[in-house]
Copies of this chain bind each other. A is one copy, B any other.
Amino acid sequence: MERNEIKTLRDEAINHLTTELLPFWTRRMKDEKYGGFITHFDVNGNDTGEDEKSLIAQARCLYTLSSAHRAGYGDGELAELAKHGVDFMLGKMWDKEFGGFFWMMDRKGNVKIDQKIIYGHSFAIYSLSEYTLATGDRRGIEYAEKIFDLIQKYCVDTRYGGYWEMFHRDWTLKGPGSAGGDRKTLDVHMHLMEAFTTLYECTGKEVHRRKLLENIDLLLNVINHPVYKTGIPQFFKDWTIAPQIKFDIIWGWDRFSEDGQKGNATDNTCYGHNAEFAWLLIHALEILKIDPLSHAETLRIIFDHTVDNGIDTEYGGVYVEGPHSGGVYDREKEFWQQAEVLIGMLDGVLLFGDKKYWEAYKNVHRFVFDKVINKGVGEWFPLLSRKGEPIWTHMGHSWKINYHTVRAMVQSILRMDKILEKSE
């Protein structure tokens, strides 16, 4: 790994983050009239007017602003905007009667969907904890802890372990099937690991540490494939694998067949998710003060699976998904998977010093900068063909926002700086 090559890519990332990505958002996200953030933008970055403020988009914007401020960007502007977001979340989205956040509001702050969805609440814990770490405003951690307590009370399966994730407003569990009340998912457990990590970083409380460790144990020994260590998307209550179905409440545009099942519904894993899991695990272990190399074998297997199966060596970038044992089902390119693999590959470099992870990083970095970034506008296209032609072109939506893109730049820059330090 050439130092100059690393510096060049790092500077490209800094430039993108500070002159394109962050300005894209700071110039247009603040809703001066109703509070909170505007999150719906078309290919040109114009407000589409869609009358939605979703829990995940509001929370993810808060994370983005807070974490970028904590990393040293924005000269205070990001912290100010973050506070503006917290005011809306706590003032308008919090359910004062039953606790927790509503899933979907209109722009004015009226409730559109009052259900309690744990995927959204994991981001609320994550972002509110990060907000307090970044700004010192204790309101963030106060509400993050409230959500943690609600989740422990209402969402744990005390029979088989793990968390249920789909609830009515009053925290009664939703029904089975597409309502989701009989399913446990990789998605929610991984994002709870991410959330509990930052919660514990902020509080240092034993109960937060303990629940984080229990969740990591579940992820490593139940949710990940026993051989390939790849994530298995859905389970029934006793952790038998469930066919991957589409839920009534969604937070993405995963493609399903007409009957609501995935093709290859029981043998499907997602490269971006696996790389994200691996680097979030490394981060969690660091916060827990556990040596990540105590899990070297698992991390190696995951990173290698990503490199060997997920990276498109011909056109660049990361594929969508494939079978656990190797191979690819879907060769299109989703923006967020590129973002997560960037960070994961740099962690692979830092932990194992293996050049193949650097090559993979370079591959995806190039694809992102040459194809995924919407030049002159500043955000990323959400979905591209294998060759890199945009398929979906909106810049912002309730479930396409700045969390993956900004985090990928902030975290990649940090890691490239570390690699440079180590090679001095």
Residues of A at under 8 Å CB distance from B? 149, 152-154, 156-163, 170-173, 206-207, 210-211, 214-215, 217-218
Query: Which chain B residues lie closer than 8 Å to A218 at the CB level?
Result: 158-159
- Picked from B149, B156, B172, B173, the residue with its CB within 8 Å of the CB of A156 is B156
Contacting pair B158 A160 (CB below 8 A): no
Contacting pair A211 B158 (CB below 8 A): yes
Contacting pair B156 A158 (CB below 8 A): yes
Cα A215 to Cα B206 with chains together (Å)? 25
Query: Which chain B residues lie closer than 8 Å to A163 at the CB level?
Result: 158
- Picked from B153, B159, B160, B215, the residue with its CB within 8 Å of the CB of A152 is B153
Contacting pair B173 A210 (CB below 8 A): yes
Contacting pair B159 A217 (CB below 8 A): yes
Min C-beta distance of A250 to chain B, whole Å: 25
Most buried by B among A173, A210, A217: A210
- Picked from B149, B153, B162, B171, the residue with its CB within 8 Å of the CB of A158 is B162
Most buried by B among A149, A152, A162, A206: A152
Given contacts A156-B156, A158-B162, 16 further A-B contacts (CB under 8 A): A152-B153, A152-B156, A152-B158, A153-B153, A153-B207, A154-B207, A156-B158, A157-B161, A157-B214, A158-B163, A158-B218, A159-B214, A159-B215, A159-B218, A161-B161, A173-B206
Copies of this polypeptide in the complex: 2
Most buried by B among A159, A210, A217: A159
Residue ID in chain B nearest A207 by CB atoms: B154
Cα A217 to Cα B173 with chains together (Å)? 17
Query: Which chain B residues lie closer than 8 Å to A157 at the CB level?
Result: 161, 214
Contacting pair A206 B172 (CB below 8 A): yes
Min C-beta distance of A154 to chain B, whole Å: 6
Contacting pair A149 B153 (CB below 8 A): yes
Min C-beta distance of A183 to chain B, whole Å: 16
Tell me whether A158 and B214 are in contact in the complex, defined as CB-CB below 8 angstroms, given that A153-B152, A153-B153 are known contacts. yes
* 23 sampled A-B residue pairs with Cβ under 8 A: A149-B149, A152-B153, A152-B156, A153-B153, A153-B207, A154-B207, A156-B156, A157-B161, A157-B214, A158-B161, A158-B211, A158-B214, A158-B215, A158-B218, A159-B214, A159-B217, A159-B218, A160-B161, A170-B206, A171-B206, A171-B207, A172-B206, A173-B206
Most buried by B among A153, A170, A214, A215: A153
The 10 tightest CB contacts between A and B, nearest first, are A159-B214, A152-B153, A172-B206, A158-B214, A161-B161, A159-B217, A159-B161, A160-B161, A156-B158, A152-B152
